[in-house]
Amino acid sequence: MTKVTNYLSEAFEELKSNVTWPAWAEVQKLTIVVAVFSILFALATWGTDEFFAKALAGFFNWLKG
């Protein structure tokens, strides 16, 4: 248990003293950028899925008919 406590203590000290944290305004800006790109990627994935679903449905209907 001492090793775990020591590890957590050292990790916390590392975060406090050796990590350069961005300014709050930069964090907000980058969060918006990530959110926008996540939405765009989700829409692109949805669009690709819809396209292939319709293409496959049309292909199988063509084979049936």
Give first-to-last CA distance, the chain, whole Å.
70
pLDDT by residue, tens only, the chain of 65 residues: 899 999 999 999 999 999 999 999 999 999 999 999 999 999 999 999 999 999 999 999 999 97
Which residues lie below 8 Å from residue 30, measured CB to CB, with a gap of 6+? 22
pLDDT score recorded for residue 65: 79
Q: Which three-class secondary structure string do you get for the chain?
A: CHHHHHHHHHHHHHHHHCCCCCCHHHHHHHHHHHHHHHHHHHHHHHHHHHHHHHHHHHHHHHHHC
All structural domains of the chain with their residue ranges: 21-64
